[in-house]
Amino acid sequence: MRVLVAYAAPGNELVVAVDVAEGATVADALRIADVAQRIGMIPDDAGLAIFGQRVDGSTPLRDGDRVEITRPLVCDPKVARRARAAGSNAGRPRADRRRRSAR
């Protein structure tokens, strides 16, 4: 079976295609791809997914799966959205939001 192992961080992107045996797990794919050496850290079970769905290292793989190593969130998405909304023009009437051309 062939699966992809993917990781992305600022300045560090990794996508490796690996061949694994039938019945292999996510942990097996990470070991075969030598992820710890390539990204400089050992991913924990909390940061693993297959096509965006959370999994752990013991999850069996299927041919064509994409194993993703995710990073922890830098900030709470709800807090970030509220901060963006507080600074937006959402409450102003439309005419006030238009840019005025320089004359």
For residue 79 the two structure tokens come to 């807090």
> Which residues, listed in sequence order, are joined to residue 69 by a DSSP beta bridge?
7, 48
pLDDT in tens, 1-42: 999 999 988 888 889 999 999 999 999 999 999 988 888 877
Mean pLDDT across the stretch 32-58? 87
Global pTM? 0.69
Amino acid at 62: R
Instruction: Give the span between the Cα atoms of 47 and 33, in whole angstroms.
Output: 16
The residue count for the chain = 103
Work out whether the CA dihedral 23, 27, 30, 32 comes out positive or negative. negative
Instruction: Give the span between the Cα atoms of 37 and 89, in whole angstroms.
Output: 47
Q: How confident is the model at residue 81 (pLDDT cuts 50, 70, 90)?
A: confident
User: Which of 96, 31, 101, 22 shows the shortest CA–CA distance to 69?
Assistant: 31
> Is the pLDDT score of 60 beyond 90?
yes
Q: Which domains does the chain have, with CATH numbers?
A: 2-85 (3.10.20.30)
